[in-house]
Amino acid sequence: MLDLQSKQVNDFIALLLQHHTTVDVTMATFEGMFTGRPGEVSPDFAPILSRLPAQVQRGAYSGGLAVTSENDQLYKDSYRAMLRMTKRMYDAGIPILAGTDATAGLMLHRELELEVQAGIPPAKALQIATFNAARLLKQDKDLGSIAAGKRADLVLVEGNPAEHISDIRRCRVVMKNGVLFRSAELYAAAGIKPAE
């Protein structure tokens, strides 16, 4: 089991801080890999499965890494350790980005949910995905927050993701460069049902 207070972990954290390293943990990708099982809905797809086209739904049952009776619990424990390590890095002040290698336009929501599951407050998870990302990419003069002179890139959600992060899935309107797009229409064009 990974001891998050061990010398090795402390040295690793110190090294990341010393080099001003930013970490994109991509927890949603690893969630399916380490906790998904053949014949069961992958946990990263579970919250949105009913919204997806049939061919994508079928892929959600393919499972993650090859599982045996010897490694099943190890994989689950490893994923839980990843969540704890993410919180450890966050608490230490290591810049974290919210990214994913999974389905564009859908899995970033899961990434934010997993940051919160790891112990990062919902409002901070939103800040990681917006302002912090823009700042780390040196785009904060144009993006990442709402201010006069910045690009009009924003989303309107139903609910309050700063308190309930899963409300981020209930996006209703997207504004990109000042142009409004209705989320339901964008999703429909890709064969996806909008969030309720």
Q: What angle do CA 50, 98, 179 make, to 5 degrees?
A: 75
Closest CA to 109 of 169, 29, 44: 169
Question: How far is Cα 119 from Cα 168, in angstroms, rounded to an integer?
Answer: 17
Question: How far is Cα 94 from Cα 88, in angstroms, rounded to an integer?
Answer: 9
In this predicted structure, what is the pLDDT of residue 177? 85
**Range 49-70 average pLDDT:** 87
Give start and end residues of each alpha helix (H) in 38-118.
54-59, 72-92, 107-118
User: Which residues make beta-bridge pairs with 156?
Assistant: 173
- Cβ-contact 33, 58 below 8 angstroms: no
The answer to whether residue 178 scores a pLDDT higher than 90 is no
Question: How far is Cα 195 from Cα 11, in angstroms, rounded to an integer?
Answer: 43
Task: Report pLDDT digits (tens) over 1-55.
Answer: 678 899 999 999 999 999 999 999 889 888 988 998 888 998 888 888 999 998 8
Q: Please say whether the structural domain 7-142 has been given the CATH code 3.40.50.300.
A: no
Give the predicted TM-score (pTM) of the model: 0.91
- Cβ-contact 188, 44 below 8 angstroms: no
- 69: helix, strand or coil: coil
In this predicted structure, what is the pLDDT of residue 15? 97
The answer to whether residue 181 scores a pLDDT higher than 90 is yes
Question: How far is Cα 14 from Cα 97, in angstroms, rounded to an integer?
Answer: 18
Question: How far is Cα 135 from Cα 175, in angstroms, rounded to an integer?
Answer: 20
Indicate the DSSP class of residue 194.
Answer: P
Task: Report pLDDT digits (tens) over 80-116.
Answer: 999 999 999 999 999 999 988 777 678 899 999 999 9
80-to-19, 86, 117 alpha-carbon distances in Å: 26, 10, 10
Task: Report pLDDT digits (tens) over 121-148.
Answer: 999 999 999 999 999 889 999 999 888 9
For tokens 């906790």, what's the residue? 35
